Amino acid sequence: MVDIVIVGSVALDTVKTPFGEVKEVLGGAATYSSYAASFFSKPGIVAVVGEDFPSEHLDLLKGKEIDLNGVKKEGKTFRWQGRYEYDMNEAKTLKTELNSFENFEPELPEEYKKTKYVFLANINPELQLQVLEQIEQPEIVMLDTMNLWIQTKKEQLLEVIKKVNVLLMNDSEARQLFETPSLVKAASSALKLGPKHVIIKKGEHGALLFTNNSHFNAPGYPLEVIKDPTGCGDSFAGALIGYLAKSGLDEIRKAIIYGSVVASFNAEDFSLNRLKQISNEDVYSRYKEFEKMREF
């Protein structure tokens, strides 16, 4: 039995930052988020990889007890190529090859259909909807998205947003989707669509949580070394839902801090290289640092 079902990409990434570059390394929203979630709960992935996908990557995920029964294998693996400049808050996408994701029809293993926690990671909103419809009685459904879907599938995206309780977006996407420079106004529009919790990610500047009667401001962690921010948003989301699945929605503020903790580790190296090195104790110890750095 899995605690969380995550749908999203499993990918091979080619990334260049001012601090180095890597070719065809393990990446993808479902990869980063399930790995981050696995520090707290047991996630299962719904995705497709190609026949060309290196088996050591699947072994890495299995080693963290991530369930892969929902991962199909066919065609060629999804590939993403991107670049970051000195201001590493925004990736510039150079190339996207959907490959086997192009005609992917998600089919959930029977044991996934009874899950209570669902993370619809960044992927075509039509696929997000197809996954959600197969889950019998979800309790917490969290959704992430990106500018591509706001531009090309806005109607479908808004449909899915109406069905989730936790909406996650980065600041520029929130401004774009709700057509306002004010994050407060964007969050207020989002809350009117249905979600009870709206979380706005601000990269190195942390994250904001809005509900109908409160807001919470989570700091970023000041990093000395930032090599590659790829997957930070996904790591944030994964740790967040992982902690929620363990502790419940009342602990969402703590879950957001755990999200920031795991995302901050992720930025310290390319691909999942840093996350592979850290233990639950490392995560907890940086969480305690977050507590100290906001006392006043």
DSSP state of 91: P
Quote the least distance from Cβ 291 to a copy of itself, whole Å. 8
For residue 120, with 0-12 CB atoms within 10 Å meaning exposed, 13-18 middle and 19 or more buried, which class applies?
A: buried
Quote the least distance from Cβ 8 to a copy of itself, whole Å. 26
Helix (H) or strand (E) holding 188: helix 183-193
- Look up residue 195 and give its two tokens: 């979600």
Give 167 or 183: the residue with its C-beta nearer to a copy of itself.
183
Among 45, 208, 244, 275, binds a copy of itself (CB under 8 A): 208
Instruction: Give dist(CA 81, CA 219) in Å, integer.
Output: 29
**β-bridge pairing 197-201 and 207-211:** antiparallel
Give 101 or 258: the residue with its C-beta nearer to a copy of itself.
258
Binding window for a copy of itself (CB under 8 A); candidates: 25-33, 44-52, 156-164, 252-260: 252-260
Instruction: Give dist(CA 263, CA 211) in Å, integer.
Output: 23
Binding window for a copy of itself (CB under 8 A); candidates: 70-78, 95-103, 229-237, 248-256: 248-256
Binding window for a copy of itself (CB under 8 A); candidates: 24-32, 66-74, 125-133, 203-211: 203-211
Q: Does 183 bind a copy of itself (CB under 8 A)?
A: yes
Quote the least distance from Cβ 142 to a copy of itself, whole Å. 18
Quote the crossing angle between the two packed helices 29-37 and 252-266, to the nearest 10°: 120
Binding window for a copy of itself (CB under 8 A); candidates: 35-43, 158-166, 251-259, 261-269: 251-259
Closest among 220, 234, 218 to 264, alpha carbons compared:
220
CB 76, CB 50: distance < 8 Å? yes
CB 30, CB 47: distance < 8 Å? yes
Q: Does 218 bind a copy of itself (CB under 8 A)?
A: yes
Among 54, 75, 109, 219, binds a copy of itself (CB under 8 A): 219
CB 41, CB 19: distance < 8 Å? no
Q: Does 105 bind a copy of itself (CB under 8 A)?
A: no
Instruction: Give dist(CA 157, CA 148) in Å, integer.
Output: 11
Quote the least distance from Cβ 151 to a copy of itself, whole Å. 18
Among 90, 148, 223, 288, binds a copy of itself (CB under 8 A): 223
Binding window for a copy of itself (CB under 8 A); candidates: 132-140, 204-212, 239-247, 278-286: 204-212
Instruction: Give dist(CA 174, CA 239) in Å, integer.
Output: 21
Contacts with a copy of itself, residue ranges (CB under 8 A): 18, 86-88, 181-185, 202, 205-206, 208, 210, 214-220, 222-226, 253-254, 256-257, 292-296
